[in-house]
Amino acid sequence: MKKFKEKLSGRIFFILALSTISALVLITIFIFVEGMPLIAEVGLFNFIFGMVWSPSQGHFGIFPMIVGTVSVTFGAALIGIPVGICCSIFMAEFAPARMRSIFRPAIQLLAGIPSVVYGFWGLIYIVPIIRDRLGGPGLSVLAGSVILAIMILPTIISISEVSIMALPRHYKEGALALGMTHWQTIWRVQLPAAKSGIVAGVILGIGRAVGETMVVIMVLGNAVALPESILDPVRTLTTNIGIEMGYAAGKHQQALFATGIVLFILIMILNITAQIITRRKSK
């Protein structure tokens, strides 16, 4: 009887675990089935490198949006990575225990703020500041980068901090005993040793920036054109789907699913890279 119960519970958990994976499989199949016909029709090259997006006139080029996604993500990384890593070093190395006990939940709270709130805040505060101080319409690559940078901070900070804290004590003790200063120890010993964890955190953060939708719809301006400066509006792959899905039908809808395929592959690559890097570390 006991054995039976054991077996039964094992099976139930197995089925529940499978249902998670089957959700992934179902969604993946669905996206590809819906989107592939259009890519096949337009041609992969024309779809990815096409400059004109005008589904009602039969133009399906998403290159400006790929550039949009890359530029906004790059901007967010440029601001978010240094701040995030410095913050994690501070938390792991410098902060007294009491301060850490305030900082850590505060940063986790930052991750818990719904993205629509970030977007709204950006639209009401960041966008007008950019418009008044720097010119342009305000809705811009810069606005998106600043807000996404804040949004990816918690991911970068918590993963980097954990990987610095997880280093064996003797790394630090040895370095200090050899006469290195605290800063030299951090820069020459601890950061290189924790590199894989930090890189994984950064990549996961970037993955979040690439996939973010609500915020960028609100602050990027959604123009389908290559940006000439960081003050120009752009559209990302996610916004393209988010902004047009309500009205899309037929080929237009397929084209949005096809955009989803590109996005899906992009995020898969990022996540797999992060996995490989963390796995290499644990060997």
Residue 49 as a binder of other proteins (CB under 8 A): the answer is: no
For the four alpha carbons of 136, 140, 146 and 151, in that order, the dihedral sign comes to positive
Outline where the chain has alpha helix (H).
Answer: 2-42, 44-49, 63-89, 97-112, 115-121, 127-134, 141-165, 169-177, 182-184, 191-193, 195-211, 214-219, 237-244, 251-282
Which of the residues 215 through 244 are near other proteins (CB under 8 A)?
Answer: 217, 221-225, 232-233, 235, 243-244
Q: Stretches 35-43, 76-84, 182-190, 249-257: which one binds other proteins (CB under 8 A)? A: 249-257
Residue 248 as a binder of other proteins (CB under 8 A): the answer is: yes
Residue number with CB closer to other proteins (139 or 262): 139
Q: How far apart are CA 193 and CA 203, in angstroms?
A: 17
Minimal distance in Å, beta carbon 221 to other proteins? 4
Q: How far apart are CA 211 and CA 155, in angstroms?
A: 14
Work out which of 35, 38, 39, 55 binds other proteins, going by CB under 8 A.
Answer: 55
Residue 52 as a binder of other proteins (CB under 8 A): the answer is: yes
Residue 144 as a binder of other proteins (CB under 8 A): the answer is: no
Residue number with CB closer to other proteins (57 or 282): 57
DSSP letter assigned to residue 234: B
Residue 28 as a binder of other proteins (CB under 8 A): the answer is: no
**What is the torsion angle, in degrees rounded to the nearest 10, for the CA atoms of residue 104, residue 109, residue 112 and residue 113?**
-140
Residue 14 as a binder of other proteins (CB under 8 A): the answer is: yes
Judge whether 151 and 212 are in contact, CB under 8 Å. Answer: yes
Q: Which residues of this protein are in contact with other proteins, per CB under 8 A?
A: 11, 14-15, 18-19, 22-23, 26, 52-57, 64, 128, 131, 136-139, 217, 221-225, 232-233, 235, 243-244, 246-250, 252
